[in-house]
């Protein structure tokens, strides 16, 4: 538990709502009590389309429109800025250091510098639409996954140093999946970290970023739509199309590079309760709780050891997602207030937005690939 006056863990949940005056957005509720804390309205966000920028702005790619919305975290009300993009944004990520923004638009990756608003690079190595992007915790690398079944690892420095006439080369191209990539996440350790990937080919894989080696491949009975690691990286959690959540022991002995998840034999490692596909997952900082979001219009909080559901939050009245849409749920920490500044106007040839006055901001650590973040 957090000390009095200290950080508290909250869940940040985004879902596409029916047309209304609120226009969608996301809600924040306290994990311990389930009490509502805040709400950010005026936008319906796309799957994998939310990110925290520098602890000051919440960014969300608007569902079905070529723009990104930005909220002031402190104001907790209507949309404050609208960023016009060159196409529909399928996935979004902000560097943990707050210096760069990534957006997947069709099969291309767009990289912007926050301080200047300049478009630094357009990367075209995927053959089909992007589905997910993520930075490493030190912002030195980023990963991209797409419907072409490829996961590509990029060195940010190499991308920034590439000549205008040259296309930067990725550090690794992982092609061991056979169907579209649905989710990915990076562990701790910067370029030495491990990364987990999920795919509709019914597998989840664990990779080493530094060498590019495949460390583990787990085969399931259903397609996998979401994946996350606990902070110690002892376990990998995978959300299935049938509503099941699978817990994979990464320290199992003997070590097997490829193995199947035996549903009947490993029933004690399955979280059961969702009635539709599980699209997002997050593990608490102490490794005791798991948060899951699903197309069954619920967000569930689980005790990992007992596999018991501790709390179910219903989002009835929120329209069901169309194929390809996902509800995003996030566990975060509420931290101290800090002074923020308006986002710098981005290069108008590619992206522009209206500047509005910004006041004092309250920090929420936020990721669109739901996970607990320590303050």
The span from the CA of 142 to the CA of 152, in Å, is 8
Residues 51-81 as b or e (16 or more Cβ within 10 Å = b): bbbbbbbbbbbbbebebbbbbbbbebeebbb
Question: In this model, does residue 333 exceed pLDDT 60?
Answer: no
339 occurs within a structural domain: yes
Question: In this model, does residue 334 exceed pLDDT 70?
Answer: no
Identify which has the larger pLDDT, 74 or 220.
220
374 occurs within a structural domain: no
Question: In this model, does residue 5 exceed pLDDT 60?
Answer: no
Question: In this model, does residue 71 exceed pLDDT 80?
Answer: yes
Question: In this model, does residue 323 exceed pLDDT 90?
Answer: no
285 occurs within a structural domain: yes
DSSP notation for 38-107: EEEES--EEEEEEEEETTTEEEEEETTSSEEEEEETTT-SB--EEEE-SS-EEEEEE-TTSSEEEEEETT
Instruction: Note the pLDDT of residue 239.
Output: 97
Q: Where are the alpha helices (DSSP H) in the chain?
A: 156-161
pLDDT in tens, 120-160: 999 999 999 999 999 999 999 999 999 999 999 999 999 99
2 occurs within a structural domain: no
pLDDT band at 77 (very low <50, low <70, confident <90, very high): low
Interval 197-211 mean pLDDT: 98
The span from the CA of 216 to the CA of 134, in Å, is 20
Question: In this model, does residue 228 exceed pLDDT 50?
Answer: yes
369 occurs within a structural domain: no
- Which residues constitute the domain of residue 296? 8-364
231 occurs within a structural domain: yes
pLDDT in tens, 154-179: 999 999 998 766 789 999 999 999 99
| C-alpha to C-alpha distances, 162 to 114, 157, 166, nearest whole angstrom | 19, 9, 6
Q: Which of 219, 307, 311, 227 is nearest to 271 (CA)?
A: 307
pLDDT band at 78 (very low <50, low <70, confident <90, very high): low
Identify which has the larger pLDDT, 33 or 95.
95
CATH number, domain containing residue 93:
2.130.10.10
| C-alpha to C-alpha distances, 94 to 17, 62, 321, nearest whole angstrom | 24, 16, 24
Q: How many domains does the structure of the chain reveal?
A: 1
331 occurs within a structural domain: yes
Task: Check: CB of residue 91 under 8 Å from CB of residue 97.
Answer: no
323 occurs within a structural domain: yes
Which range in 14-18, 186-190, 361-365 is most confidently predicted, on average pLDDT? Answer: 186-190
Residues 6+ apart with CB under 8 A from 374: 231, 285, 333, 365
Question: Is the pTM above the cut of 0.75?
Answer: yes
Identify which has the larger pLDDT, 374 or 346.
346
Phi, psi of 267 (to 5 degrees): -60, -30
Instruction: Note the pLDDT of residue 132.
Output: 97
Instruction: Note the pLDDT of residue 6.
Output: 56
**Percentage of residues in the chain having pLDDT higher than 90:** 53
pLDDT in tens, 254-307: 778 999 999 889 999 999 999 999 999 999 888 999 999 999 888 999 999 999
């Amino acid at each position: 538990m957090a000390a009095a006056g200290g950080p508290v863990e909250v869940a940040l949940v985004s879902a596409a709502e029916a047309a209304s005056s609120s226009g969608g957005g996301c809600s924040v509720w306290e994990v311990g009590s389930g009490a509502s804390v805040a709400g950010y309205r005026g936008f319906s966000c796309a799957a994998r389309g939310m990110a925290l920028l520098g602890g000051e702005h919440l960014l969300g790619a608007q569902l079905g429109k070529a723009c990104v919305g930005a909220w002031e975290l402190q104001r907790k009300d209507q949309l404050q800025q609208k960023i016009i993009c060159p196409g529909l944004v399928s996935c979004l990520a902000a560097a943990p250091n707050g210096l760069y923004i990534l957006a997947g638009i069709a099969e291309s990756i767009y990289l912007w510098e926050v301080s200047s608003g300049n478009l630094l690079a357009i990367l075209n190595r995927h053959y089909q639409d992007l589905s997910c992007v993520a930075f490493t915790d030190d912002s030195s690398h980023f990963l991209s996954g797409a419907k072409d079944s490829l996961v590509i690892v990029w060195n940010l420095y190499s991308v920034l140093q590439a000549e205008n006439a040259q296309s930067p080369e990725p550090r690794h191209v992982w092609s061991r999946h056979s169907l579209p990539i649905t989710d990915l996440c990076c562990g701790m350790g910067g370029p030495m970290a491990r990364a987990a990937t999920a795919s509709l080919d019914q597998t989840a894989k664990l990779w080493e970023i530094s060498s590019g080696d495949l460390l583990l491949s787990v085969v399931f009975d259903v397609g996998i739509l979401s994946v996350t690691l606990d902070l110690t990286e002892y376990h990998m959690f995978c959300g299935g199309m049938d509503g099941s959540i699978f817990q994979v022991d990464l320290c199992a002995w003997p070590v097997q590079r490829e193995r199947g998840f035996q549903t009947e034999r490993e029933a004690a490692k399955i979280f059961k309760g969702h009635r539709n596909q599980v699209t997002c997952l997050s593990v608490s900082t102490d490794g005791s709780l798991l948060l899951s979001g699903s197309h069954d219009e619920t967000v569930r909080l689980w005790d990992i050891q007992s596999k018991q559901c501790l709390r179910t939050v219903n989002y009835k009245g929120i329209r069901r997602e169309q194929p390809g849409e996902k509800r995003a749920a996030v566990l975060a920490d509420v931290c101290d207030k800090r002074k923020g500044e308006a986002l710098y106007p981005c290069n108008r040839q590619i992206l522009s937005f209206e500047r509005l006055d910004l006041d004092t901001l309250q920090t929420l650590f936020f990721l669109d690939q739901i996970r607990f973040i320590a303050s």
